[in-house]
Amino acid sequence: MADVTPFTREAQHLLRHPGLFNWSTVTLLTLVIYVYAVEIERRNWDAVLAGIAFWLMDWANELINALVLHFNGHAALWTVTGISSYVILIGLTVEISLFFAINGVIFAKLLPKDRTVRILGLPNRWALAIGLSLVSVGVELLLHADGVFHWYYWWWNVASFPVIVVFGYLTFYVVAFWVHDMSSRARQIRTVGMLAAIDLIAGLIFGPLLGWI
């Protein structure tokens, strides 16, 4: 089996290291709680559930990414290094996770109430999802250039960024607006619950049980 890349080795050294805590993480967590508290106070359950669905989709991607490293023993699709309060998975820090917890709510609040409105000729849900996916990958390109966010494979890299747009972000936004627009609250809750169950079961099996991630 091929040796791991240098940046992967660096990330593994940081992975779930207990001595890196930074107090700024408490502020970020408080911000997430505040964002959800405001929407709950307003009884904006569509935004709350869309935000959670978005966050859970990121967890699913991160678990898959960690498994890629386990099975090839060389590099994940994306790897994070640099300063973090806590590196949860090979491509996920606590700061990134808290960001994604808010990002889905932001997206939901940007959605026009009228689903028939078109933006640049596209249905507004899809236009916003594609636009924000491009912005998100743009941020990753900057992080990659800064040397704290690493890609290795030619098919998941700077030159193949459309692949990252679709599979790295667009799926998150699509699931978020899909949940947001569901006509039944019960269906929204079932869908979010199913996503949570999949993430939790996969995390427990591939994490503590098998030790693969």
Residue 119, domain member (yes or no): yes
**CB-based contact 137:161 (threshold 8 Å):** yes
pLDDT tens, residue by residue, 45-78? 999 999 999 999 999 999 999 999 999 989 999 9
Sequence-distant (≥ 6) Cβ neighbours of residue 132 within 8 angstroms:
107, 169, 173
Assess if residue 191 is contained within a domain: yes
Q: What is the pLDDT of residue 2?
A: 54
Mean pLDDT in residue range 188-208:
97
Residues in CB range of 79: below 8 A, 6 or more apart: 5, 7, 8, 11, 69, 90, 91, 149, 150, 152
Q: HSE on the CB side for 80, CA within 13 Å?
A: 23
Q: Which residue has the higher pLDDT, 190 or 73?
A: 190
Q: Which two tokens stand for residue 78?
A: 């994306």
- 75 inside domain: yes
Asked whether residue 134 is assigned to any structural domain, the reply reads: yes
pLDDT in tens, 74-131: 999 999 999 999 999 999 999 999 999 999 999 999 999 999 999 999 999 999 999 9
167's CB contacts (< 8 A; 6+ apart) are: none
Residue 129 has which token pair? Answer: 């999802």
Alpha helices in the chain (DSSP H): 6-14, 24-41, 45-72, 94-110, 124-146, 161-164, 171-180, 185-204
Asked whether residue 76 is assigned to any structural domain, the reply reads yes
Q: If you average pLDDT over every residue of the chain, what do you get? A: 95
- Per the domain annotation, does 1 fall within a domain? no
Reported as a pLDDT band with limits 50, 70 and 90, residue 210 is: very high
Report the C-alpha gap between 135 and 143 in whole angstroms: 13
Q: In this structure, is residue 122 part of a structural domain? A: yes
Domain membership flag for residue 17: yes
Number of domains comprising the chain = 1
What range does the domain containing 34 cover?
A: 6-209
Dig out the tokens for 72 from the structure.
């090839």
Q: Check whether 1 has a pLDDT greater than 50.
A: no
- In the structure, what pLDDT confidence band is assigned to residue 194 with cuts at 50, 70 and 90? very high
pLDDT value of residue 3: 86
Length of the chain, please?
213
